[in-house]
Amino acid sequence: MTYSKEASGPSAPHTGEEAAAGRGLSSLNARLADLGPRLGSAAGLIAIAVISWWLGGIVFFFVWLVAALVVHFEWQRIVGGERLTARLALGSVTLVAAAIAVRSQIPALGVFILLVMALVVGQLGGPGRRAWFGGGLIYAGGLIIAVLTLRSSFPFGRWAVGLLFAIVWGTDAAAYFAGRLIGGPKFMPLISPSKTWSGTGVGIVTGALVGLGFLAVAARFSQFDAIAPSFALLLLGLILAAVSQLGDLFESWMKRCFGAKDSGHLIPGHGGLMDRVDGFIATAVFAAILGVLRAFPSPAEGLFHWM
């Protein structure tokens, strides 16, 4: 009995500390439970994106056209409603036609086709969701038109799309880890319950810095002074990273409107493809519009010249 009391006396506080540490470790493990599938899926998707980006041409065209078709399918499936098959068929034909128009250096025609057919697709479903039906086609079409417009903007296209990759991926990764390791108050809990202020802030800053890092490397392989890191490009990176986060929030809001947790089950740890490219869609569309509005010889060039 004496041995038992001596052993139990000093060990009780230590046992409490171990229990607290165990609870903390369990909580951390729970918050990172999906890390393995997410890393594996992200590595595969990044590899496909990077290969298509570097090769450009027809490879880039088909990879991102398929991405746009999948995004359109996932959107229309979430919205549901009448004549789903007809909406998907007509939308797919529209995306192919718009993509061909952009590849043929007639982006205005691609936008015109997209907007007109979005009105047609919107009329195929029942009342009350027509804007959602047509909006899904515009959402997917915005992706393919934006990336093709930027990537084909010789000679800055490769670096423009690479910059978007770096910013969006850097933002996503930093926001994920900061949100789970730091935690804290939620950013918009009614729209995205897992998004925190810490994750959002760290993600935006990190995404911009990763973008600058990409530009520092790109400047060594290009002949363009405009690609070198600068304060103006840092500000652009911060804006693009913030737009990426808004794109993520928009897709979360869209899914909540229809009671969906994920856009699909295509990608382990991520859900559907739309869950993976939501931030990139918003960033690519914003960058393409900004580049066009700046009236340089090519949209991609408009992202780099800030003299």
Q: pLDDT tens across 40-80, in order?
A: 778 889 999 999 999 999 999 999 999 999 999 999 999 98
Euclidean distance between CA atoms 192 and 190, whole angstroms: 6
Q: pLDDT tens across 112-121, in order?
A: 999 999 999 9
Across 91-105, b (16+ Cβ under 10 Å) vs e yields bbebbeebbbbbbee
pLDDT at 230 over 60: yes
Mean pLDDT of 221-244: 94
| 222 in the same domain as 83 | no
Which of 152, 172, 187 is the C-terminal boundary of a domain?
152
- Which residues constitute the domain of residue 51? 38-152
Which of 127, 152, 177 is the C-terminal boundary of a domain?
152
- The residue whose two tokens read 């229309």 is 76
Which residues touch 174 (CB under 8 Å, ≥6 apart)?
199, 202, 203, 205, 206, 207
- Within a domain: residue 306? yes
Q: List, as own/partner pairs, every contact residues 188-197 make where C-beta atoms lie below 8 angstroms and the sequence separation is at least 24, other chains included.
A: 188/249, 190/256, 191/249, 191/252, 191/253, 191/256, 192/248, 192/249, 192/252, 195/248, 195/249, 195/252
Specify the higher pLDDT residue, 188 or 61: 61
Q: pLDDT tens across 142-152, in order?
A: 999 999 999 99
pTM: 0.86
| 282 in the same domain as 180 | yes
Which of 152, 180, 214 is the C-terminal boundary of a domain?
152
